[in-house]
Every structure is written in structure tokens, then in C-alpha cells.
Amino acid sequence: MRGAWARREFCAARASWLLVGVGLASLAGCAGPAVTPPPRILPAQILEAYDLQRSMDVEQARQAQRDVRQLRSEVSDGLLRERIACYRQFLVNRCLREVMERQRIIDVRIDAVEVAANQVLREQTARETSLRLAEDAARRAQQAAGAPERESLNREAYEARQTAAAQAQARREQEAPELERRAEKLKADAARRERAVQEKREAAEARANRAQARTGKPQSAP
């Protein structure tokens, strides 16, 4: 009698879930063959490659982040199948509570691995930032230390240019009288040559005039 009552309760529970869309099996399946339950996801199998008692390196932390993202989806799907399978059992609520407890433990494990990986990567980022800032500070200090030397070199180069310009000006001023003397000499030589040519021309014209006067015929000047 008690067994028959339990079976009716079981079938009624299954029927109620079929009405809301679970659709796990038909009512006729109450007397049909048993359905193979999905594999159980155990907390001890979750991310067992990661020992939180040991520190991760950067590559392990990056791999852990990838594993966590993939495992969350797989665990969510697997536990959902287990919860659905609970409605095929007689003690539905106890089965659901057991799945929920395993899910809580699994979530804690996944979160712990993710937090550890994130911490390692944050520390690595902080170290890289500190190193970059230290290098920038050292470079600025080196530039500041070299500034007086560069200023001194620039000042010396400017003074050298000024000295060279002054010396060139002094040479030009020193050479100016000689250049003027040479220019005057060239001008005088040109004037003498011009006078000599003019005198020759005038002498030739005078000879031609005298010869014409003697012969009464015009003669061409040589």
C-alpha cells in the first residue's frame, strides 16, 4: 500500500514538471526503463592542476584565467543537467540540495583560483609600471645632470663662432687699405693706357693732316 502511494506521488511530481516545460520523459515512462543519469561533477576535480598553497608565475596565472572562463560554462551546463536529472528520482529535494551544495563548493574553488590568478597579474602589472617609472625618472635625472655640460658646450661653441667672426672682420679691416691701394693702382694703370692710346691716335691724325697738307690728297691714318 505504501509503495503504491509513493509511486503515485512520484508520477504526479513528474507530471507537474512536464506541464511547465521540463519534458524529461512521458508519463508512460513511469513504468519504462531507467534513464542513465549524467556524470556527477565533483569539487575535487575542479581546477585540480592549481595548488593555491603555491604561488603562480605569470604564465600560469594567464592560463588559469583562460581555464576559469572555460570551466564556468562547462560546470554550469553540467550542473543544470544534474538538477534536471533530480526530477527522475524519488527524493527530488534531497538530490537538488546535494547538487546545490556541490555547486557552492565548486564556485568557491573557481573563484579562489580566479582571485589568485588576478592577484598575480595585478602584481606583475604593478612591477612593470614601477620599473617603467623608475627608468623614466633615471632618464630625466641623466638629462638634467647633462644639461650644464651641454650648456657649457653650447656657450663655448657660440664664443668660438663670435671669435672667428671678429678675427675675420679684423682681417678685412686690415686688408682694406691694401685692397684700396690695389684698386687705385689698377684704375691709374687703366687711365695711363687710355691716355697712351689717345696720344697715339692724335699723333696718327696729326701725321695724316701734315701729309695731306703737303700732297693736297687725303691719306688714311695708319
How sure is the predictor about 155, in pLDDT bands with cuts at 50, 70 and 90?
A: confident
**More confidently predicted of 26 and 69:** 69
Task: Tell me the C-alpha distance between 184 and 175, whole Å.
Answer: 14
Neighbour-count burial of 132, counting CB atoms closer than 10 A to its CB (0-12 exposed, 13-18 middle, 19+ buried): exposed
At 198 the pLDDT is 86
4-14 pLDDT, tens digit each: 444 444 444 44
Q: What is the pTM of this model?
A: 0.46
97-137 pLDDT, tens digit each: 998 998 899 889 888 889 999 999 999 999 999 999 998 88
Average pLDDT for residues 127-152, to the nearest whole number? 85
- Which residues, 6 or more positions from 217, have their beta carbon under 8 angstroms from its beta carbon? none
Q: Are 103 and 79 in contact (CB under 8 A)?
A: yes
- Averaged confidence pLDDT in the chain: 78
Neighbours of 114 (CB within 10 A): 19
Q: Which range among 42-46, 83-87, 112-116 shows the weakest confidence by mean pLDDT?
A: 42-46
Task: Tell me the C-alpha distance between 114 and 127, whole Å.
Answer: 20
The SS3 assignment for 61 reads helix
181-214 pLDDT, tens digit each: 877 877 887 888 888 888 888 888 888 888 888 8
- Which residues, 6 or more positions from 82, have their beta carbon under 8 angstroms from its beta carbon? 37, 38, 40, 41, 99
Q: Is the pLDDT of residue 39 over 70?
A: yes
- Looking at the chain, list the stretches that DSSP marks H as alpha helix, in order from N- to C-terminal side: 2-19, 58-86, 92-215
Neighbour-count burial of 100, counting CB atoms closer than 10 A to its CB (0-12 exposed, 13-18 middle, 19+ buried): middle
Cell matching residue 115 = 582571485
Q: What angle do CA 101, 105, 110 make, to 5 degrees?
A: 140
Tell me what percent of the residues of the chain surpass a pLDDT of 70.
Answer: 81
Cell matching residue 198 = 689717345
Q: Is the pLDDT of residue 71 over 80?
A: yes
Q: Is the pLDDT of residue 219 over 60?
A: no
Task: Tell me the C-alpha distance between 193 and 215, whole Å.
Answer: 33
How sure is the predictor about 35, in pLDDT bands with cuts at 50, 70 and 90?
A: low
At 28 the pLDDT is 36
At 93 the pLDDT is 92
Minimal CA–CA distance to 56: which of 109, 111, 114? 114
| Single-letter code of the amino acid located at 126 | A
Minimal CA–CA distance to 78: which of 52, 50, 110, 54? 110
Q: Which range among 22-26, 36-40, 131-135 shows the weakest confidence by mean pLDDT?
A: 22-26
Task: Tell me the C-alpha distance between 99 and 69, whole Å.
Answer: 21
At 216 the pLDDT is 65
